[in-house]
Amino acid sequence: MSHAPGPIPAAPVPSFYGLSRPRLSERLAELGVPGYRADQLFTWIYRKRERSPQNMFNLPAALRGGLGAVCDLKLPATSVHRSADGTTHKFVLELADGARIESVSMSTVKRTTLCVSSQVGCALMCRFCATGLMGLQRNLRADEIVAQVVTMGDALGWEDDRFNIVFMGMGEPLANLSAVSEAIRILHDERGLNIGARRITVSTSGLVPQIGELGAMGLQVGLAVSLHATTDELRSQLMPVNKRWPLAELLDAAREYGETVGRRVTLEYTLLGGVNDSPEDADRLARFARALPSKVNIIPYNPVPGLAWQRPSAEAIEAFVARLQPHAPSVTVRSTMGGEIWAACGQLGGLSPD
């Protein structure tokens, strides 16, 4: 990790989206408003998707008029880019301090998945990732993470409100664990968005101690580990974080997490043509996958301008999967969505869709 996050800009009135229901209730009580109004506000904002206090008819007029002094309901200014087939949307969100983040929604017939950012940029410098090229500007606060989800839901018209959330956008979520876990608790609230742990996945490039911390928090969310190589030598070249926490330690931590939470860990493997797609790689990956409760997700590389990596040919992808599949518990190949609007995996980093 190259540098520490910059200071988080303080908001004078707290954002609604960073307040848990108990915290909102306390804040209302401090201002002489009965705490149960917090339940009503959660219902209005998260369930009825009402954005104007004036329309919240069961609140007293004084609270409707004065809500702006209690909490800030503003959502970030957003531009939305839609893929030609309409299945993928890339959102560029401008935060209060002018920082920009990118988030992506992907819809299939079964489910919409929201890919959420946890930091502005990223310090981990994975060699194949556009976000890594930006460096780390700062951590996101919990309210900025929750507001991302609400902003995307509003833009999509809440057509699917039982969506999955993956922390796979910009940044390393476990490097910002306190804000990410706080946001997850708010997203879980059954009076709010009510997004269960089964529908949330946190993806890490391999911060071993924080994997243990996440497991100990009891949030029960899914864990995805970005593996991308099967030897320490190659992984350290691709992902400098491997020099600090090599493969054996990472896989141990992932196994423990899976056992603690009772869920299979996803091993993410970006296939880089001629780099990590040999038959020996497939055999080693199968061995790793068998050693823990896991499923493997193969991601054929999505090109990033300025980076020399190649996507393997369709035949090479097929050969790798054919070699891996019989020996690994579960293998899926991620279909690439959003490549033409620079919204695919590893492409979030200010690349213009226009």
Chosen residue from 19, 99, 106, 122 binding ligand SF4 by CB under 6 A = 122
Active site residue 345: yes
Q: Is 132 among the residues that bind ligand SF4 (CB under 6 A)? A: yes
Out of 72, 143, 172, 281, point to the residue binding ligand SF4 (CB under 6 A).
Answer: 172
Distances (CA, A) of 9 to 119, 138, 231, 277: 14, 10, 41, 43
- The verdict on 126 binding ligand SF4 (CB under 6 A) reads yes
Site string for ligand SF4, 241-280 (x = CB under 6 A): ----------------------------------------
Q: Which of 71, 102, 129, 172 is catalytic?
A: 102
Tokens of 68: 């702006």
Cβ-based nearer residue to ligand SF4, 170 or 186:
170
Strands 77-82 and 294-300: unpaired
Tell me if 18 contacts ligand SF4 by CB under 6 A.
no
Other CB atoms within a 10 A radius of the CB of residue 162 amount to 10
Q: Residue with structure tokens 């797609």?
A: 277
In whole angstroms, what is the distance from residue 244 CA to residue 21 CA? 39
C-beta of 81: minimal distance to ligand SF4 in Å? 19
Binding mask 141-170 for ligand SF4 (x = CB under 6 A): -----------------------------x
Q: Which two tokens stand for residue 117?
A: 């950012």
Minimum Å gap between C-beta 349 and ligand SF4 is 8
Q: Are 207 and 241 in contact (CB under 8 A)?
A: yes
Rounded Cα gap, residues 244 and 111, in angstroms: 37
CA-atom Rg of the chain in angstroms: 21
What distance in Å separates the CA atoms of residue 81 and residue 347, rounded to the nearest whole number?
Answer: 14
Nearer to ligand SF4 by C-beta: 171 or 192? 171
Phi, psi of 272 (to 5 degrees): -105, 120
- Using the minimum distance from each CB to ligand SF4, give the nearer residue, 178 or 313: 178
The torsion region of residue 121 among left (phi > 0), alpha (psi -120 to 50) and beta comes to left
Query: Does position 129 bind ligand SF4 by CB under 6 A?
Result: yes
Choose which of 103, 151, 205, 242 interacts with ligand SF4 (CB under 6 A): 205
Q: Between 24 and 124, whose beta carbon lies closer to ligand SF4? A: 124
Tell me, yes or no, if 26 is annotated catalytic.
no
Residue 179 CA to residue 176 CA, distance in Å, equals 6
The least CB distance from residue 226 to ligand SF4, in Å, is 6
81 residue type, one letter: H
Task: By CB under 6 A, name the binding residues for ligand SF4.
Answer: 122, 124-126, 129, 131-132, 170-172, 205
Active site residues: 102, 345
